[in-house]
A and B are shown apart, each in its own frame.
Chain A
């Protein structure tokens, strides 16, 4: 399994794009961030810190036009994401339009705002799959992380409903220091809920996650334990004849080589933000790049010709140590956003790479049990409108 995507926001965890793509590939994956509104306040949210400053949301008609143009370009997987996509009152209409266009439609939701009736209506409209994200395997940690007391019971109820109505189900557990030790209970819960795929994805440090990094980072001992338990459960599932697949995503902070982020810039992945900004990944909005809006330009022109999508395609933009590196075709120099956040230069090597001169920043952020910080929930900077306006003003 690749480690391409963010575990929190519907990036392709398992997309096998094949190897025979033309020089500029097709945007096989279209992520529609329908809204930045969300009833939860997860401190690792991948939405931009200044989401409160974003412009008006695209209308129903504008979204359907984006879907139509995306389909023409070859997009086949469509993710409805956010924020919380259920906040959009036209979601059912958008699902129907997308399915009619031939997309495999994925709803990426917290489950908060979902109901038995909506699950049925979406099914009728042609929704193919619902991914429910969990913050933990019990009430108290889930509430601490999401900032909502009632969310956990609602999620359980909706996960059962999703299965009962015949959808395939992916459960996504974003793991971090405060819940990763519950790995056995998390997996047992997934078995009980009859998930088809389980993503055990340590949160990645973008947007709000970066602000809260020191409070989220699991220790190396925690990670080692969680991975060993996951492997144990894989064997156990196989011996039981279960088809449930466990996908364990380690944080790149514990790696010596960077992830092949997004399978390369402008390679297979296209995000459209609530206000119509087209991005090569859902974090890219933080970069000092002028991105185009789908309300100003067609998707085809943006994908193939706009400078923002061509900026880090190929290898000519690379500096050393990437430029002469014999692994550059495997990892494309890693993540542009991480390079920018940690070095101030979006064209630098991703500091996860041990060849980067800034790799010491990654090493310094790692934790072991001996230096673990005990955290109260009020240490988190929660992702909400009020805090976002603070970042907006700072920016």
Chain B
């Protein structure tokens, strides 16, 4: 990952709200009249996108929670690029 990306601080765009849904046993991203059901990895990353943590800090925090996970940096970058394209987050 480029150091440029690692230093960025992603923030969820104000249209969206991340929320745990008990009835679905999963996290969803809510927006006007719509919903995205997130898988486990996407949820873990987005939960840490708070407008304060940098990408480096998000990766470090994920590594702490999932010590056996490999290739986290690449996975996080790939997801954040996709999330940015979807306009879920700003970088």
A interface list, Cβ under 8 A from B? 10, 12-18, 26, 28, 72-74, 76-77, 79, 102, 104, 106, 128-129, 131, 166, 168, 170, 196-197, 243
Contacts and interface: CB of A to CB of B under 8 A. Distances in A.
Given A13-B33, A106-B33, 17 more contacts: A16-B34, A16-B35, A16-B37, A26-B24, A72-B23, A74-B21, A74-B23, A77-B34, A102-B19, A106-B32, A129-B15, A131-B32, A131-B33, A166-B14, A168-B32, A196-B15, A197-B32
Interface of B: 14-15, 17, 19, 21, 23-24, 28, 30-37, 87
B23 A15 contact: no
B91 to A, nearest CB: 13
Contact of B35 (A10, A15, A102): A15
B40 to A, nearest CB: 14
A104 B15 contact: no
Contacts of B24: 26, 74
B30 A104 contact: yes
Contacts, number: 64
A168 B28 CA distance: 18
A14 B21 contact: no
Q: From DSSP, what is the main secondary structure of chain B's interface residues?
A: strand
A106 B30 CA distance: 11
Contact of B30 (A18, A76, A79): A76
B14 A168 contact: yes
B10 to A, nearest CB: 16
Given A26-B24, A74-B24, A15 B33 contact: yes
Contacts of B23: 26, 72-74, 76
A166 B14 CA distance: 8
A243 B33 contact: no
19 contacts: A13-B34, A15-B34, A15-B35, A17-B35, A72-B23, A74-B23, A74-B24, A76-B23, A76-B35, A104-B19, A104-B30, A104-B32, A104-B35, A128-B32, A129-B31, A131-B33, A166-B14, A196-B32, A197-B32
Nearest to B31: A168
A10 to B, nearest CB: 7
